[in-house]
Chain A
Amino acid sequence: MTGKGGTGKTTVAAALALALAAEGRRILLVEVEGRQGIAQLFETDALPYVERKIAVSPGGGEVHALAIDPEQALLDYLDMFYKLGRAGRALKKLGAIDFATTIAPGLRDVLLTGKACEAVRRKDKAGWRTYDAVVMDAPPTGRITRFLNVNDEVAGLARIGPIYNQAQAVMRVMKSRETAVHLVTLLEEMPVQETVDGVAELRAAGLPVGGVVINMVRPVILDSEAVCAAANGQRTAVAKALSQAGLGGARRGGHAERLVDPLLAQAHEHAERVALERRERAELEELGLPTYELDLLGDGVDLGGLYRLAENLRKQGLGVA
């Protein structure tokens, strides 16, 4: 799940994980940017670098969460492949881990995506996959292609060797049919522009684009025709109606009459926004991708709201197995 900053991609990623967890499935929700956004959403303490159950879904499913930290992932990786327990810690003390994870963003990204891919492929003793799906709260749209396309990123740095191999393995998962990159947007100019650019980049890199989730959709209460009608010719009638509804006198200078101008000003802004949203929606449609819409939750997203969003996604077919 990617999206421009501020579009609510963490929220949508969490809602998708909950939606997928319905019907008794087991989902892992991972975050990679060290923001602890998941913990805040689920109202729990900061997530450690350990997978832990953070929510259950109505059908008995489970959402587990993991905050992937690049340093820890590197130590994990060293441990897994080289049994470097103590030497790993020594490297860390020297600043080597810091070095490796910061000097080349490509290396850091291989570690982050590598950990997620490991969770995707992990199997239990009986040979079943540990998780039915892994949802990643990924970096923003502007960086998503570089982030997922680790192969290109490390190509210049590691042409052979273990890091190269790791990158290859990650790419196999990322480009497979098991992966879908969804983009979250708002019906505003900048987020839509970034979405359109992001989709083009993902497609050029051969990464599988899923759908577009339009978040925080606000209801259309009046369209511009209605506002125009109200402002022209109908002002008196509107004042009268307001007066009938008990809001004061409709005569010039009366309480109800004085409401007309400010209410119309608001309506005009609303109509302008509705028109803008229509244009943005049309631009998104040109992408030819499935779109899903989530209504704005006026009072911010609490846990209850998150479950409602999940339900809403499922109704629209996203997060249904």
Chain B
Amino acid sequence: MSLESPVLAIDPLLDDPRTRILVCCGSGGVGKTTTAAALGVRAAERGRKAVVLTIDPARRLAQSMGLSELDNTPRRVNGIDESAGGELHAMMLDMKRTFDEVVLQHSDPERARAILENPFYQSLSAGFAGTQEYMAMEKLGQLRALDAWDLIIVDTPPSRSALDFLDAPKRLGSFLDGRFIRLLMAPAKVGGRAGVKFLNMGMSVMTGTLNKVVGGQLLRDVQTFVAAMDSMFGGFRKRADATYKLLQANGTAFLVVAAPERDALREASYFVERLAAEDMPLAGLVLNRVHRSGAERLTAERALAAAEALEEDDEGSEEASPESPTPLPSGEFDESAENLQTVGIVDQPDGKVGLRTNSPESETKETHTHDAYDAHRLAAGLLRLHAERMQLVARERRTRDRFVSVHPEVPMVDVAALPGDVHDLAGLREIGERLAQGQPTAA
């Protein structure tokens, strides 16, 4: 038995002209980037002028959208059906370049150069734990300000915790505005003025200590860096605040992406609670990689028992069947072979599937005795696979139900697992289709 949630209807969300920003968030490895890209393709083909901001896409996913390098400017994606009047643009975030741009925009050339060349700046811009998040926000603000698209879809950095995306920019902002940075700058700024003599003395003790601990040259670099960045400090905080407000505004919707695994759904849960606390609009939860079975009425236990029975019975035994099977008409094979392309995406109980080998049917008759034995083993294997699948389905459902019982109000959509990774637009389209048609697994 499964708990029910309201259905997250993707198409109305994508079609609504008031939806201007869609943020896909969630913990790492749940298919966030793929979801963002699939939403972009679907939105564009439904007539929106959309741009997808991806952070760290897998190589082949990036290639599927024609992105071959980090160039920080949105590029039009080829191969999109634009007949509905939409377009898709995509870009990969280059965090260092985004940071450089902010510096260049907000300081005169000489000062900008001093900052860009400072080793501290280089270390900070390439690797500060929150830089990627901060720059993703910064880029989002820039794209929004350009007003060239009517829908911006944002993928969030592959952090361990989904909350990092919300917290890191503030942390970087307040850190750069922080007291300590001001203190470090104080000697440079206030020189020997009498009024601050006391503070200055304290400072020299402090810098003396720091000198000892971190080394003088390093401290001088920090001070130069801080002094050069001085003009920008207030700005960092302000910009972080402005983007934060953008996330609370009408027209922004958050999609929390998760997989039916304990850790991913726990993160999703934190995120849902946090969004509510921050008055940020949650559209719903996308549950990726959900497994299903076309034969859900056959339980794992029965399948296993049947498999064991078949394996014990190794005589082949053609005579034991209570019903004599009718040979399949040869047309049956051609019919199912046509369904080849749908393999792996068929989830309905009556879904048909065909396979690639075109061995003639007549062969079976010639080697019948041998085959009957093999057929038992094959059937047993199929049943064991089914048991494994059913156990997985049950496990996923338990994990999912735990989330639903805590957050029954959150709309959800399940996206069935694909056997492989997505590498092309067709794959993204397929995911989009599943997103739009997915039903939360109901009881």
Contacts and interface: CB of A to CB of B under 8 A. Distances in A.
Interface of A: 4-6, 33, 35, 78, 81-82, 84, 87, 91, 94-96, 98-100, 102-107, 146, 153, 156-164, 188-190, 193, 221-222, 226-247, 249-252, 254, 258-259, 261-270, 272-273, 276, 298-300
A244 to B, nearest CB: 5
Contacts, number: 263
A236 B327 contact: yes
Interface in B312-335: 313, 317-318, 320-323, 325-328, 333
For A241, A267, A270, which residue has the most chain B Cβ atoms within 10 angstroms? Answer: A241
B344 A268 contact: yes
Given A98-B175, A104-B123, A240-B321, A235 B298 contact: no
A105 B123 contact: yes
A235 B332 CA distance: 11
A6 B29 CA distance: 6
A243 B322 contact: yes
Query: Is the interface on chain B under 10, 10 to 19, 20 to 34, or 35 or more residues?
Result: 35 or more
B391 A233 contact: no
B353 A264 contact: yes
A265 B351 contact: yes
A contact patch SS = helix
A103 B124 contact: yes
A238 B29 contact: no
B210 A159 contact: no
Contacts of B114: none
Nearest to B333: A232
Interface in B191-213: 206, 209-210, 212-213
B207 to A, nearest CB: 11
6 contacts: A102-B175, A153-B123, A160-B217, A233-B360, A261-B353, A264-B353
B298 A247 contact: yes
A234 B160 contact: no
B357 A232 contact: yes
B419 to A, nearest CB: 5
Interface string B357-371: 111110110000001
For B183, B309, B375, which residue has the most chain A Cβ atoms within 10 angstroms? Answer: B375
B214 A163 contact: yes
A284 B356 CA distance: 28
B419 A94 contact: no
Contacts of A254: 323
Contacts of A245: 306-307, 309-310, 379, 383
B426 interface: no
Given A95-B179, A157-B123, A245-B310, A103 B128 contact: yes
A246 B379 contact: no
A235 B58 CA distance: 39
A106 to B, nearest CB: 6
Given A221-B381, A299-B395, A246 B306 contact: yes
A241 B353 contact: no
B419 A298 contact: no
A35 B27 CA distance: 13
B381 A235 contact: no
B109 interface: no
Nearest to B218: A158
B310 A157 contact: no
A247 B321 CA distance: 11
Nearest to A84: B209
B380 to A, nearest CB: 8
Interface string B203-240: 00010011011111110011000000000000000000
Given A94-B179, A161-B214, A230-B378, A263 B371 contact: no
Nearest to B294: A262
B429 interface: no
Contact of B356 (A159, A228, A238): A228
Given A95-B178, A105-B127, A157-B123, A163 B294 contact: no
B216 A161 contact: yes
B12 interface: no
Contacts of B210: 96
